[in-house]
Chains A and B, each alone.
Chain A
């Protein structure tokens, strides 16, 4: 009788396990679908500010030697440090200039390729940017 009961329990446990694994997957699959629209809209609404900040920072990096933080300004700082014999500072600034130069390239690439692409994606899905 015990053996019979254990078989029955095993069978029911198997069914319960199947049901337990099935129900959550349907619930989990349905949940993200509901918020895709708001998520898409929220993401798309971030684009204008990102575009503006990108343009402003590119302008700043490309500014002349009077614009603090620009590549030209950094080069002027390097020249001045070298003139004063402050080689350690000059090295730090040169490294900073190298990173900043690459950052400018990355920003320009994002501005010319990525941002138009994501804008087009949003607009093609009915979200005005």
Chain B
């Protein structure tokens, strides 16, 4: 019987760490359990794909259970650093910036925009090549 609690402790610790990594809150307080969910569900949806990226750093941090985390997380998201919970949000908001790059003398361009441009040029290039081949066959 003594083994079971240790095993369960290990399992719970692992699950708690994983949930902390995912930013779901590990919670003791009721307030912490109810409020973190909206923050993390809204932030990734508004931002781009790489929302799972910030979960790399949290292994050393373990404080998503702190009560003021929710309101603070939302309001302090812009300023990086600070408490471990806010760093999680801060890295979430900075992650999408990695998918864009800024040109030396122009606004940022996205992967989708470049791909669309390449596709449009490929399309017209193919059209010209087909027509040229057709004309050469006359």
Interface residues of A (CB under 8 A from B): 1, 3-4, 7-8, 10-12, 14-15, 18-19, 21-23, 25-26, 29-30, 32-34, 36-37, 39-40, 43-44, 46-47, 50, 53-54, 57, 60, 68-69, 73-74, 96, 100, 103, 106-107, 110, 114-115, 118, 121-122, 124-127
Chain A positions within 8 Å of B111 at CB level = 32-33, 36
Are B125's CB and A106's CB within 8 A?
no
Chain A positions within 8 Å of B124 at CB level = 50, 54, 110, 114-115
Which residue from chain A places its CB closest to the CB of B111 in the assembled complex? Answer: A32
**How many inter-chain contacts with C-beta < 8 Å in the A-B complex?**
140
Interface residues of B (CB under 8 A from A): 3-4, 6-8, 10-11, 13-15, 17-18, 21-22, 49-50, 52-53, 55-56, 59, 95, 98-101, 103-107, 109-111, 113-114, 117-118, 120-121, 124-125, 127-128, 131-132, 134-135, 138
Chain B positions within 8 Å of A43 at CB level = 114, 117-118, 121
Answer whether A30 and B17 are a contact pair too, CB < 8 Å, given A19-B56, A22-B52.
Answer: no
Are A32's CB and B135's CB within 8 A?
no
Answer whether A103 and B95 are a contact pair too, CB < 8 Å, given A7-B7, A11-B14, A125-B106.
Answer: no
15 contacts between A and B (CB under 8 A): A11-B15, A14-B15, A15-B18, A18-B55, A25-B50, A29-B99, A33-B100, A36-B100, A37-B101, A40-B117, A100-B131, A103-B131, A106-B127, A114-B124, A122-B117
